A and B are shown apart, each in its own frame.
Chain A
Amino acid sequence: MVLAGLLVVVFWLAMLLLAPLLAPYDPLAQNVRNRLQPPGALHSMGTDELGRDIFSRILHGTLVTLPAGLAVIAFGALIGIVVGALAGYYGGLLDDLLMRITELFMAFPTIILAMALAAALGPSIQNAVLALVIVWWPAYARIVRGLVLDVKHRDYVEAARSAGAGDFYILSRTILPNCLAPALILATLDVGNAILTFAGLSFLGLGSAPEVPEWGRMVSIAIDFFDQWWMWLYPGAVIASLVMAFNFIGDGLRDLLDPRLRGK
């Protein structure tokens, strides 16, 4: 399962580099006389309402959706780790303050807060990613804080402190390296979810502009052309394959690293 997941992810990562070379048509080229063609010899996945080649658009879509999902996780985890580390390490008032803020952000369901933010900032890919980062970091802050609390009284941390190390050194060299593994597992498990949510925002018209080849947006446009199943089935299936692949990998990693599940 993990291997299958890895293969699919590697395949799409390769598409990230090769899409412009492999795409048979320009993803933006319109040909209205050739619109809504079912899959056939010329267009292996058919054409959309403006006669654009769906296969080429899906390949180019890799350049949008995959980096967007990864960026959400990268920035979300980064902010979360910093906030969680500061809260856990310094404790006291700072901890209380940061954790209350974290809880506050967690009270807004992801897509609703993201919709409000994306609407406030204006619909664009960057703003959709920014909106998702804002709703994504609290989970990491909570986890990292818990881990830091657990690690900060260990002997080797005390040893570093008694040797005269400063706060920054202790945090970055002795505490954080011991907290990162669980955060990284969470991140892997989460990439699929981030891609799914990004596609959802995009589906709601809060991501890319309509002409940009983005998978969620392609499905959303296809709702009005419901009978032309190829318009929504292919981009939808691509999202599903990528999300499933990341979930396979994440599940595998967790089973591997959680001793309670091992050997069962």
Chain B
Amino acid sequence: MSFQRYLVRRLLLTLPLLLGITVVAFLIANAVPADPINANLPPNQLNNETIVRAFREKWGLDKPPVEQYFVYLGNLLRGDMGRSIKSGEPVLADIAKYLPATIELSTVGIVLGMSLGIFFGVVSAVWRNSPVDYVVRFLSLIGVSFPIFLLALLGLTILHAELRLLPGPGRLGFTASEPPTVTGLFVVDSLLASDFDTLRDALRRLILPGFVLALYLSGIIARITRSSLLEVLGQDYMRTARAKGLNERNVILRHGLSNALIPVVTVIGLMYGNLLVGSVLIERIFAWPGIGQYMFRASTSQDFPAIMGVSMLIAFIYVVVNFVVDLLYYFIDPRIRLA
């Protein structure tokens, strides 16, 4: 199959899913027992006849539900997700403000988590049933079983409060000032501004939350890598590779791992969800001003436009991430190209 055909086919499967997400979001937003006007406007505007009427008109609330959905979809396509009740700002602007902090943290988390997970998964599979294997398997089981908030609190107590090795919660300390916003990622922005003190502070503050997130992810990745590599190690082509006289390192890394990584890549795509779960909980503990913190505040204060905006955005990203993973398959798995 040519890449173009594969791409078009995947796209055709993805578009209905994106549309479906807007339907689900619309349904949940309309399942609120409360009146949508009460749920979406700040209390002090409820008595203001003009604002209420404008709101009703903008979202087509006097029309039948099906028509309402299309009004909603139309507004959405123009990038209008409504206004957050709590901040009073357009939801999209809020998201743009909070998203970079989450991207910065989750990038550190997933890069560290993948490196640790794949490394320990390989070690554990190669030295199967050795003490190393048992230790890795036990640790990865702890990684998937420990509530991430417990890991975070333990990390803060030991490394910050007791040993004073790492700074506490927050993206920056009190003394540092935010670098001028270009990307919203403090590490990148402070580098662009050549502000190395801020850069050092931002990096140091990423270590602990990033590492906690990584521990949580690496448990899952190590387990999948181990079982996938074990399955591959038993294949005939592994024996062939050894029979050709390749050294063990080459056999395992080039013939073994490259085949074992296919399911690992799938899982990493699907793990985007776990990454967000982790981020929501970690951001709460580390006072990290990211999208998880925003979602948390929105959901505990019934800020509906914000909740639906974030859920939809996240579902969209999820679909897009998995679309990209599907495209990656094309390059990783030659069977798709030949099919």
Binding site for B on A (CB under 8 A): 100-101, 103-105, 107-113, 115-123, 192, 196-197, 199-200, 203-206, 216, 219-220, 222-223, 226-227, 229, 232-233, 236-237, 239-240, 243-244, 247-248, 251, 260-261, 264
Contacts and interface: CB of A to CB of B under 8 A. Distances in A.
B115 interface: no
A170 B24 CA distance: 34
B144 A247 contact: yes
20 contacts: A100-B16, A103-B20, A104-B17, A104-B20, A107-B315, A109-B318, A112-B276, A115-B311, A119-B302, A120-B28, A120-B31, A120-B32, A120-B307, A204-B300, A219-B153, A227-B161, A232-B150, A232-B153, A244-B142, A264-B128
A243 B315 contact: no
Nearest to A117: B28
The 3 closest A-B pairs by CB, nearest first: A109-B273, A236-B150, A244-B145
Contacts of B17: 100, 103-104, 107
Given A107-B318, A236-B149, A240-B150, A264 B230 contact: yes
Interface string B272-302: 1110110011001100000000011011101
A116 B285 contact: no
Contacts of B231: 260
A35 to B, nearest CB: 20
A243 B21 contact: no
A107 B280 contact: no
Contacts of B31: 120-121
Main secondary structure of the interface of B (DSSP, over half): helix
Given A109-B318, A239-B150, A204 B299 contact: yes
Nearest to B141: A247
B16 to A, nearest CB: 7
A107 B299 contact: no
Contacts of B20: 100-101, 103-104, 107
B273 A110 contact: yes
Contacts of A116: 28, 299, 307-308, 311
A210 to B, nearest CB: 12
A135 to B, nearest CB: 10
A108 B270 CA distance: 11
B276 A111 contact: yes
B142 A204 contact: no
Contacts of A119: 298-300, 302, 304, 307
B146 interface: yes
Contact of A219 (B144, B149, B304): B149
A233 B156 CA distance: 12
A104 B21 contact: yes
Nearest to B29: A120
B145 A243 contact: yes
B263 to A, nearest CB: 14
A123 B144 CA distance: 26
Contact of B21 (A108, A220, A236): A108
A244 B20 CA distance: 36
B24 to A, nearest CB: 6
B310 interface: yes
A205 B284 CA distance: 11
A109 B16 contact: no
A131 to B, nearest CB: 10
Given A104-B20, A115-B299, A240 B145 contact: yes
A159 B225 CA distance: 43
B262 interface: no
Interface in B25-63: 28-29, 31-33
A118 B307 CA distance: 11
A118 B153 CA distance: 25
B300 A109 contact: no
A136 to B, nearest CB: 13
B74 interface: no
A109 B153 contact: no
B159 to A, nearest CB: 13
Task: Give the most central of A116, A200, A243: most B CB within 10 Å.
Answer: A116
B310 A219 contact: no
A208 B128 CA distance: 44
B149 A110 contact: no
Given A196-B147, A203-B281, A247-B144, A107 B319 contact: yes
B280 A199 contact: no
Nearest to A134: B28
A191 to B, nearest CB: 11
A96 to B, nearest CB: 11
A57 B85 CA distance: 36
Contacts of B181: none
Nearest to A119: B299
Contacts of A121: 31, 33
A203 B285 CA distance: 10
Given A105-B24, A115-B299, A264-B230, A200 B277 contact: yes
